[in-house]
Structure 1
Amino acid sequence: MLHIKNITYRVAGRTLLEETSLHIPVGHKIGLIGRNGTGKSTLLKLITGEIHPEGGSIRLQNGAKLGVLPQEAPSGPESLLETVLDADIERKNLLNEAETAEDPQRIAEIYTRLADINSHTAESRAAKILTGLGFDFEAQQRPCSSYSGGWRTRVALAATLFAEPDLLLLDEPSNYLDLEATLWLENFLRNYPRTLVMVSHDRNLLNNVIETIVHLDQLKLVKYNGNYDFFEKTRAEKLALDAAMAKKQDTQRKHLQSFVDRFRAKASKARQAQSRVKMLEKMKPIASAMEEYSVNFSFPSPAPLSSPIVTMENCEVGYEATKPILKRLNLRLDMEDRIALLGPNGNGKSTFAKLLAGKLRAETGQFAKSGKLKIGFFGQHTLDDLHPEDTAYQHLVERMGNGREAVVRSKLGQFGFSKDKSDVAVKKLSGGEKARLIFCLLSIDAPHLLILDEPTNHLDVDAREALIQGLNEFEGAVILISHDPHLVALVADSLWLVSGGTVTTYDGDIDDYKKQVIDQARNGGSGNSPSAVSEEKQPNSGKARGNSKEARKARAEARALLAPKKKAVQKLEKQIQSLQQEIEKLEIKLADPTTYEKGADYQASVSTEIGRLKAEQEQTEENWLIALEELEELENS
């Protein structure tokens, strides 16, 4: 289907692809992955011909139809259904020609071809795709211009899928979808009968749809025959092998260099030394097993706060000049809560998040929150709040009140910003880097509650895993809105369903909810949110719900046990570091010639203090090892 041969591409003097090749057979489903900024989207543009490589060639199978999301979403007066139907250009042209054709033979040819491409089922197929992406029958009749950008992007996706291209190119297709639409898309792509190349950081999509992973790494396209889990396992094994080989090579290199250094000047060994110099020159370095950068999401421990931190009694919330979006809100939020909000977009999840964040006020009822509550809010448009001309460093200096440079850069480093990257203007950062900067900024005040609305849209897979780890180590409360089931499953202990104009607890886990969404889609559901799990409809679900509740409770209890141990380990680590700094200062002082001018007693006192600090450091290190072992036992239990 697609042949990429020895292509090279550079932009602004930076090489993204260098003499790399790839062959994609007909009917294969390829997942294109790699860190943010490595050139995945650029590769798709090269395939479509939007840009051209400096060297090499890209060849598509003769006559193959290429499908890619348009850069501009549709916004005209046509209805959603009409817009999607128009995406099948051949059908549209045949129908137009049929209205004016006069030659009986040509008319027969037109209708034969229309029958061959199943034109009679086109409207039902288009409607089914729109339904799966969250548009019910009434919504499908409305003009595209009446929808916001995110919803129109869904229409563009529906049109691309409906056209059924021979090679379908998708770049992060789930970014503008909710969980329900993402699950539908996963099922659709899994059954797509043609060739697919998809850029995605969604682990579930990559595992459940993709047959082959292509990793864009170190300017090359590296193929792994399997889904993402297989890639991750194989990649880890390769990195471990590379690390072992690099270590072995380093030992060999040192041995050869040692011989050269010792015997190069001796006539009897000169030839042998020269031979080893040549061996060193020919020894190609093994690619480092270390990744280019490591990302952490380090959220500080908030100050203690009594629960509940938020309570709602019969609250209503909405926007001016509209009816309330959500009613009958009777909920409470505690410090240890980890809650994911479920329900299709448009049902009020973001509205509820803004209510909790204080960006909207309850119109009626009693809404109360702790006076000392600090909230960190990550919204879908938070990235737009950054100052494009300022650097990450300048953003933090402003937020931290002109803090010391070392402290500011240390904070940025916790979120994966090197010194060079932290001095780059925000407008030149990737979406993932901007997202990490937002997380860095909101962590400064040590919030008690993190409200995260689609936090992973711009993060690569490694950054998503780092976010999961950071949230699981965070000691405050979390409200999460996400289309990523992997993130929800590993972070949330409770699920709340936003449906029917209110918010209620959902007595099931994310797998129960996914099953309901898929079943509803199979049964021709209209895109409305599934209801809470019903014991009458699912007689065996009681035990599963009980197990999931116990699991959530166990995870919460585990965090409660781990928190003091983690604090103890961190405190001891700081003590060790502080003691080492004091020792180094005194050792510098002892080496200073002016110290000896102050007499033997002063020298002795400095030496004694160094000895005392070293003894204290040794004892602290022993205590740290004991605390670390206890923490590891708890984590593994």
Structure 2
Amino acid sequence: MAATSGEYIKSQFPTIDDELYQYVEGILSSSADDFEDGTELYDAIGEVLHEAASDKSEVEIRNICERLLGILKPNKSDLLNHGPTKVLNAPVHLASMAANLEDNVQDIKSIWMMTRDAGLKVDAKKLEKAEAKLQQKQEKRSLDMQMNRNQATTGPRLETATASQVTSKKETKLEDKGNNRTQDIRIENFDVAYGNRVLLQAADLTLAFGRRYGLVGRNGLGKTTLLRMISSGQLRIPSHISVLHVEQEVVGDDTTALQSVLQCDTVRERLIAKEKEISTKLNNGCTEPELTQELTDVYTQLQNIEADKAPARASIILNGLGFSTEMQQRCTKEFSGGWRMRLALARALFSRPDLLLLDEPTNMLDIKAIIWLENYLQNWPTTLLVVSHDRHFLDTVPTDILHLHSQRIEAYRGNYENFEKTKTEKLRNQQREFEAQQQHRAHVQEFIDRFRYNANRASSVQSKIKMLEKLPELKPIEKEIEVVLKFPDAEPLSPPILQINEVSFGYTSEMPIFTDVNLGATLDSRICIVGDNGAGKTTLLKIIMGMLTPTKGMRHVHRNLKFGYFSQHHVDQLEMNVSSVELLQSSYPGKPIEEYRRQLGSFGITGDMALQTVGSLSGGQKSRVAFSRMCMGNPNFLVLDEPTNHLDIETIEALGKAINKFTGGVILVSHDERLIRMVCKELWVCGGGKVKSIEGGFDEYRKIVERELEAQLK
């Protein structure tokens, strides 16, 4: 029976995938008795059959399901359609039968009335099962309607990411038996999608143990999603490999920062707890000889893992990430979100998992901490996979670069600088090869067209045609679209533009953040402000824009000066359940839709992307939306606070070029060395309650920071 249904499926779906076919066959063979009608069979396999043949309509698929039910239950199908048949033994004379009606009632009934087969009587259990199924469907329908109503009131639902992969039978067997001990990670032939958008297709990823990989690619291609797929287990790796993804900040409670890091070493924590428990029993007079031996074993294990050195190692990591000795003893609940993210990074570095996943780790760090992290990760003992936009970081830390593009991942040996050179040369060679083949094809085709109808050249023409058919088809190089950002033209103003004289500020009179600050700016200014986290950089920006009033000193600004402010929290403050166009519309109402789209387009938010919900965009794309909204007011002076946090390398380059072309003034707070070097004409350093200019620019500042770091770690 199953073979007959299988033949019918193959005849209706000749191109059906083997896996889909096996799935359908399995349902038909194992659950045939459960299907009461074709609708139930359609509910079970209809969606799969639609996938096997997208050209067939729903009506056609339903008819196929009815036919399949007829193949699986031929007797039932006949009974339902025709009823049991009655064969007459001889001709019947109806007139004589009617004359003797009373005597021949049973014979007449045998002709005109079908006898009810016992199998067609209502089965109470089946009726109960059918009613339960019907109720379940009605409940599901009402739940779907409720969800749709909720979605209508709360806005569009955000898409989620999904992943699938093909695993080898050999590795699956090793995994099942617990014999897989490899430290290398191979994820082969996998797909990752975000809603209906495919991010990776038939991609391969190999991570060799002990190597450090930098994952690069344009915003929105799926770098962060890939890390989440690995850490959540949606992309499977050997179960014995420990994975840690630094994504969530540490929860604030009464635990000290140092203790929060030490708690990551669960083996050490368990042994210390055991040692305390045994010691308490012994101190209370317990004389069991086993306890003394057990305590000795615990001390031996603590010594083997060098438990006594753990607090010092944790303190070094915290110190490198900017936690002073006093801060390490503070409760985690006293720290801001940025510092808790640093704490999460410290816990990860202390834990030393087999695979450490870092997503933009430099976003939360000042330049001093970035330099420390670069040095620390160069000696990382296990496997590292890091997403970063920091060019200097990518040149310093990775041993390999993984380039995500065109729904696949390409591996390159060396740091980012080496990757750029290799990729450029590779694309150049591929383009040369393509152009050479195109010329060769054109030359051969010209010969074919010229002598196609020449009988003397017939054999040559045929051989040329065959040669063309055998040539491998090379495709032209797909160049990534260049990122271009464009700030609006600024209204010219006559000086003076902006002046801060002898300004001091503190949230309390006892604790001034800085004193006696003097700062002047024009529409030609490109001022970069650097300094440790907490030194007052953002506070200084707010005083410049008039959002905070100085406790002492004066601020003078031109009456027509219009600030455009990009804060480091702008991306988090965007409304997530509306589209980018709707976001600009709510901030600047009354303009034509084309103007909003033109504004978004000048920052790379084009086409359907402008109509997606903001929450479904990548971090870098959200930053571009924030830039678009900032520029709708046509500012003539830009104040940018950490604008690179979510941008990819290409967009940071484009931002630097856009700043240089902008006809207004710019004050920038950033830790991105590449951007500072591109735009900075004047470097101001915040620290020690002062803001001072540095001669020699960023090179001099980096030397100062490295000297301070060496002194701090001694």
Alignment pair present for 1:414 and 2:602: yes
Separation in 2, partners of 1:302, 1:70: 39
Task: Pick one of 359, 362, 365 that aligns with 1:174.
Answer: 362
The residue aligned with 2:611 is 423
Matches within 5 A, 1:43-442: 43-48=226-231, 50-53=232-235, 58-59=237-238, 64-69=241-246, 71-101=248-278, 103-251=291-439, 276=465, 279=468, 283-286=472-475, 288-291=477-480, 293-319=481-507, 324-397=512-585, 402-404=590-592, 406-442=594-630
Separation in 1, partners of 2:222, 2:592: 36
Q: CA deviation at 1:206?
A: 0.7
CA contact (8 A) 2:500 2:544 kept: no
Separation in 2, partners of 1:459, 1:87: 31
Separation in 1, partners of 2:317, 2:338: 17
Q: CA deviation at 1:520?
A: 2.0
Q: CA deviation at 1:248?
A: 4.1
Counterpart of 1:24, as a letter, is L
CA contact (8 A) 2:448 2:464 kept: no
SS at structure 1 position matched to 2:238 = strand
* Stretch moving more, 411-420 or 173-182: 411-420
Return the index of the structure with the highest Cα Rg: 2
SS at structure 2 position matched to 1:377 = strand
Separation in 1, partners of 2:449, 2:610: 42
The residue aligned with 1:561 is none
The residue aligned with 1:635 is none
CA contact (8 A) 1:312 1:368 kept: yes
Q: CA deviation at 1:225?
A: 0.7
Separation in 1, partners of 2:198, 2:702: 42
The residue aligned with 2:219 is 36
CA contact (8 A) 1:399 1:441 kept: yes
SS at structure 1 position matched to 2:364 = coil
CA contact (8 A) 1:263 1:273 kept: no
Alignment pair present for 1:6 and 2:194: no
Separation in 1, partners of 2:591, 2:469: 48
Task: Pick one of 673, 697, 709 that aligns with 1:509.
Answer: 697
The residue aligned with 1:22 is 205
The residue aligned with 1:493 is 681
SS at structure 2 position matched to 1:175 = helix
CA contact (8 A) 1:326 1:348 kept: yes
Matches within 5 A, 1:485-634: 485-524=673-712
Separation in 1, partners of 2:217, 2:372: 25
Separation in 1, partners of 2:694, 2:375: 24
Alpha-carbon deviations, 1:563-618, whole Å to 9, x = none?
xxxxxxxxxxxxxxxxxxxxxxxxxxxxxxxxxxxxxxxxxxxxxxxxxxxxxxxx
CA contact (8 A) 1:31 1:199 kept: yes
Separation in 2, partners of 1:92, 1:238: 51
Q: CA deviation at 1:189?
A: 0.9
CA contact (8 A) 2:357 2:384 kept: yes
Q: CA deviation at 1:442?
A: 2.5
Separation in 2, partners of 1:490, 1:109: 60
Q: CA deviation at 1:5?
A: 3.8
Q: CA deviation at 1:68?
A: 2.9
Q: CA deviation at 1:391?
A: 2.4
Number of aligned residues: 519
SS at structure 1 position matched to 2:609 = helix
Counterpart of 2:552, as a letter, is T
Counterpart of 1:505, as a letter, is S
CA contact (8 A) 2:498 2:558 kept: yes
Counterpart of 2:431, as a letter, is A
CA contact (8 A) 1:387 1:426 kept: yes
For structure 1, the residue ranges without an aligned partner over 5 or more in a row are: 527-637
Measured at CA, do residues 142 and 5 of structure 1 come closer, stay the same or move farther in structure 2, by a change above 3 Å?
Answer: closer
Alpha-carbon deviations, 1:215-249, whole Å to 9, x = none?
12222221111100111111122222333334445
Measured at CA, do residues 314 and 404 of structure 1 come closer, stay the same or move farther in structure 2, by a change above 3 Å?
Answer: same
Q: CA deviation at 1:139?
A: 1.1
SS at structure 2 position matched to 1:447 = coil
Separation in 2, partners of 1:390, 1:247: 46
Q: CA deviation at 1:38?
A: 2.1
Counterpart of 2:237, as a letter, is I
Alpha-carbon deviations, 1:50-71, whole Å to 9, x = none?
1324xxx6337x5x54333253
Separation in 2, partners of 1:258, 1:321: 87
How big is the alpha-carbon RMSD for the aligned residues of Structure 1 and Structure 2?
Answer: 3.1
Counterpart of 1:58, as a letter, is I
Separation in 2, partners of 1:103, 1:249: 81
Alpha-carbon deviations, 1:486-507, whole Å to 9, x = none?
2112221221111122322223
SS at structure 2 position matched to 1:288 = coil
Q: CA deviation at 1:157?
A: 0.7
SS at structure 1 position matched to 2:362 = coil
Measured at CA, do residues 41 and 425 of structure 1 come closer, stay the same or move farther in structure 2, by a change above 3 Å?
Answer: closer
CA contact (8 A) 1:170 1:199 kept: yes
For structure 2, the residue ranges without an aligned partner over 5 or more in a row are: 1-182, 279-289
Measured at CA, do residues 253 and 405 of structure 1 come closer, stay the same or move farther in structure 2, by a change above 3 Å?
Answer: farther
Q: CA deviation at 1:406?
A: 4.9
SS at structure 2 position matched to 1:224 = strand
The residue aligned with 2:668 is 480
Counterpart of 2:667, as a letter, is I
Separation in 1, partners of 2:575, 2:445: 52
The residue aligned with 1:534 is none
Q: CA deviation at 1:310?
A: 1.2
Q: CA deviation at 1:287?
A: 5.6
Measured at CA, do residues 244 and 111 of structure 1 come closer, stay the same or move farther in structure 2, by a change above 3 Å?
Answer: same
Q: CA deviation at 1:160?
A: 1.0
Separation in 1, partners of 2:607, 2:436: 32
CA contact (8 A) 2:248 2:341 kept: no
Separation in 1, partners of 2:423, 2:327: 45
Instruction: Give TM-score, length-normalised by structure 1.
Output: 0.74
SS at structure 2 position matched to 1:174 = helix
Measured at CA, do residues 272 and 310 of structure 1 come closer, stay the same or move farther in structure 2, by a change above 3 Å?
Answer: same
Separation in 2, partners of 1:487, 1:497: 16
Counterpart of 1:75, as a letter, is G
Separation in 1, partners of 2:495, 2:403: 46
